[in-house]
Amino acid sequence: MQEFSRHCKHPVTHLALSGGIGGAKLSLGLEHVIKSPKLMIAGNTGDDFRHLGLYISPDLDTLMYTLSGRSDPERGWGLANETWSFMDTIKEIGGETWFQLGDRDLATHVERTHRLNQGEKLSAITSMLCRKYKIEAQIIPATDDLLQTIVETNEGVLSFQHYFVRKQCKPTIISLKFNGSEKAKPCIGLEQVLNSSKLETIIICPSNPFLSIDPILSVKGIKEGLKKSRAKVIAVSPIVGGIAVKGPTANNLRDLGYPVSALAVAKYYSSFIDGFILDKRDEDDASRIESLGVKVCLEDTIMIDLKSKIRLARRVLDFSKSI
């Protein structure tokens, strides 16, 4: 009950829901501003999969590597100062090479898989890794239970990583399914936080609404928790200037029949958010978002460096207090 004891000592005041790269950028800003376990970041686990027998959790890893200052700034995923001897050799012996695994990154996967196979929970393992990586915030998986994003596309039904990495998001999405979501429960620390009176703000990071945030919200009780919580729920737009900052968000909106706009994302979230951080470039959407009953805060949301991440994080917290 690591999470529980940390939670008791430091009641969580801020909860972020996050996918990978974009969410991790804002989470890093939040970590710098809050600097304590009072910040909890619930990561998407719908992308998790077993590869070469290893349990890989791309979003939790991106969060951990980013918040510990170890992520590779060029690639956007994996660790800095990475080496690739393992992949070179896997290629030589005819193993699968479509998913890149760095030598340092492998330590996370091997240790985690070993512990999972011995019966430890993903949340406890993530908590242990965060301690080792000296991360002050609490990173947890949205759920310790099975949750698998399945992508129905014009090229057939694909597991998430097959769509995302192997097919490079090229197929057109028809629908999404989160296997296991009917049974999955929020992990224990997250459930406590959602019910806590100390929680002030819930931040929906600028992650992909369909591929990163929806899997989290598909876990029993999380969406309801957001609605019931006394905390302010603030979403940060993943759409800037009418396009996605990174990844397939724009294509996904189009595929699923939505306009590619910040407004469309705000509408999609409108039943459970109180505020929406809109990029200044999308100012035209502001009044229509407000007419949904959602407060709007205009801001430059592009996070090119640590300074801009911290600035956006502060803005999110100030905005939350103001509404």
Q: List residues binding its own copies (CB under 8 A).
A: 52-54, 79, 82-83, 85-90, 92-95, 102-104, 106-108, 110-111, 113-114, 117, 128-129, 132-133
Provide the Cα torsion 313, 34, 194, 175; round to 10°: 40
Q: How far is the CB of 141 from its own copies (least distance, A)?
A: 17
Q: How far is the CB of 269 from its own copies (least distance, A)?
A: 36
Q: How far is the CB of 107 from its own copies (least distance, A)?
A: 4
Residue with smaller CB distance to its own copies, 88 or 155: 88
Residue with smaller CB distance to its own copies, 140 or 216: 140
Q: Nearest CA to 37 among 4, 11, 69? A: 11
Q: Which residue has the tokens 């890149």?
A: 100
Residue with smaller CB distance to its own copies, 65 or 269: 65
Residue with smaller CB distance to its own copies, 96 or 224: 96
Q: How far is the CB of 68 from its own copies (least distance, A)?
A: 10
Q: How far is the CB of 258 from its own copies (least distance, A)?
A: 40
CA angle 221/224/230 to nearest 5° reads 120
Q: How far is the CB of 130 from its own copies (least distance, A)?
A: 10
Residue with smaller CB distance to its own copies, 126 or 252: 126
Q: How far is the CB of 132 from its own copies (least distance, A)?
A: 4
On the 0-12 / 13-18 / 19+ scale of CB atoms within 10 A, 230 is exposed
Tell me the H-state helices in 93-177. 103-117, 122-132, 160-161
Residue with smaller CB distance to its own copies, 136 or 300: 136
Q: Can you tell me the distance from the alpha carbon of 259 to that of 264, in angstroms, rounded to the nearest whole number?
A: 6
- Quote helix, strand, coil % in the chain, to nearest 5: 45, 20, 35
Q: Nearest CA to 215 among 180, 242, 173? A: 180
Beta bridge partners of 296: 276
How many CB atoms lie under 10 A from the CB of residue 77? 18
Residue with smaller CB distance to its own copies, 83 or 154: 83
232-236 and 275-279 strand pairing: parallel
